[in-house]
Amino acid sequence: MTNTPLLLVGIGVLAVGTFSLRFAGPALRSRFEIPERAQQLLAAAAIVLLTALVATSALTEGHGPAGIARPAGVLVGGVLAWRKAPFVLVVVAAAATAAGLRLLGVP
């Protein structure tokens, strides 16, 4: 896209929209009562959405499968996170696993 003014207007509109949505939550919270069941469903939906994002990112690369190294790294990171390891350790171990497997020639 070479039309810089149009790009800047688009960024501005998105920034105002994002700020408006973020401001509307706390401002309107006292006016609406959300049932407990709906709150539980929204919490579950967030977990499902995050899981789908992780699975898609871990298992695919472009239009094909990601190979073995990346999912293995994500698995190591997931197990360490589940065991409540420090975040830095989770990231370093996941990256080291994927890098080590790639160094050994595993795709």
Query: Of 57-61, 81-85, 92-96, 98-102, where does mean pLDDT reach its minimum?
Result: 57-61
Cα–Cα dist 107/91, whole Å: 20
pLDDT band at 63, cuts 50/70/90? confident
Domain boundaries along the sequence of the chain: 50-106
Q: Using the predicted structure, report yes or no on whether residue 59 has a pLDDT greater than 60.
A: yes
Residue owning tokens 């990231």: 91
Q: What is the pLDDT of residue 34?
A: 84
- What does the angle CA 88 – CA 94 – CA 99 come to, to the nearest 5 degrees? 120
Mean pLDDT for the chain overall: 92
pTM of this prediction? 0.61
Which whole number is the average pLDDT over 52-59?
90
Q: Where are the alpha helices (DSSP H) in the chain?
A: 4-28, 36-59, 69-82, 87-103
